[in-house]
Copies of this chain bind each other. A is one copy, B any other.
Amino acid sequence: MTTIQNPAKLTPREARGLFRDGIAAPTTGWCTGYTQANLIAVPEDWAYDVLLFTQRNPGPCPVLDVTDPGAAHTVLAPGADLRTDLPRYRVWEHGELVDEPTEVAARWRDDLVAFLIGCSFTFETALVEAGIPLRHRQQGRNVAMYRTDRQCRPAGRLSGPMVVSMRPIPADQVDTAVRVTARMPAVHGAPVHVGDPAGLGIADLDRPDFGDPVTAVPGDVPVFWACGVTPQAVLMASRPPFAISHAPGHMLVTDSSDAEYRVVG
């Protein structure tokens, strides 16, 4: 596997070029300051349900762009090809994962509508700038994600629980973390819960449903944000005949700046 020197300093265009050439690395820490997005592409006859689900559940499902049927380009990254420019994809049939390739050019269909959905990587930049330590990064792990007992508002064939990401935050910085992320409603916004995981029906923080367990430091409080994994989890549970998504952590790196998603108050 090729090692990329200093991926944080690459431009989004350079990063996408590497991915197009077959490099398949997770995008955490790549292209500092640029927004990364989740991809979910579904047949046109499923697009209304997905779009309505995102409208009804904007916290976990902040839509950054929706393509026209069959199109493989997005206003978020002019010149990018959505079929080749992510590092790794997942191909789904009837809700089952059938392949995890590095490009999907031959599998893209004329009736596919692609949803690009905001990612908490975007607000992590703002948290770091505010001086808040991110334990999962310090520990070299993916963020921990959990299914909750909070049901999303259903839309057509789609229904299911909200998924949250959790970050342990020093107690005296929780207010800052809330304030910083509240200013970014387009990428999940303020936490949905602070403190006891039982409040969200989470039994054991050491056993996340997605990502990695993350170790808290004494004095940390668990803080939970609505997570962009929610729409993918809900969609696949409803078993659409076909879908393509990014592979976990292997996101679209866009040309948008993280700062564009901050509300200036």
Q: Chain A: residues with CB nearer than 8 A to chain B?
A: 47-48, 51-52, 54-56, 63, 66, 75, 153, 179, 182-183, 185-186, 189-190, 263-265
Contact = CB atoms under 8 A, between A and B. Distances in A.
A183 B48 contact: no
Nearest to A182: B264
B263 A185 contact: yes
Contacts of A52: 51, 66
Contacts of A47: 48
Contacts of A265: 179, 182-183, 263-265
Contacts of A179: 264-265
A23 to B, nearest CB: 32
15 contacts: A47-B48, A48-B51, A51-B52, A54-B55, A55-B63, A55-B66, A179-B265, A182-B265, A183-B263, A185-B185, A185-B186, A185-B263, A263-B265, A264-B265, A265-B265
Give the 4 A-B residue pairs with the shortest CB-CB distance, closest first: A265-B265, A48-B48, A183-B265, A263-B263
Contacts of A263: 182-183, 185, 189, 263, 265
Query: Which of A51, A189, A190 is packed against the most chain B CB atoms within 10 Å?
Result: A51
Contacts of A63: 55
A18 to B, nearest CB: 30
Contact of A66 (B56, B75, B189, B264): B56
Nearest to A186: B185
A189 B260 CA distance: 14
A63 B263 CA distance: 18
A169 to B, nearest CB: 18
Contacts of A54: 55
A261 to B, nearest CB: 10
Nearest to A184: B263
A222 B82 CA distance: 42
A66 B156 CA distance: 12
A189 to B, nearest CB: 8
Nearest to A115: B55
Contact of A51 (B51, B153, B186, B189): B51
Contacts of A153: 75
* Most B Cβ at <10 Å: residue of A47, A183, A263: A263
A109 to B, nearest CB: 18
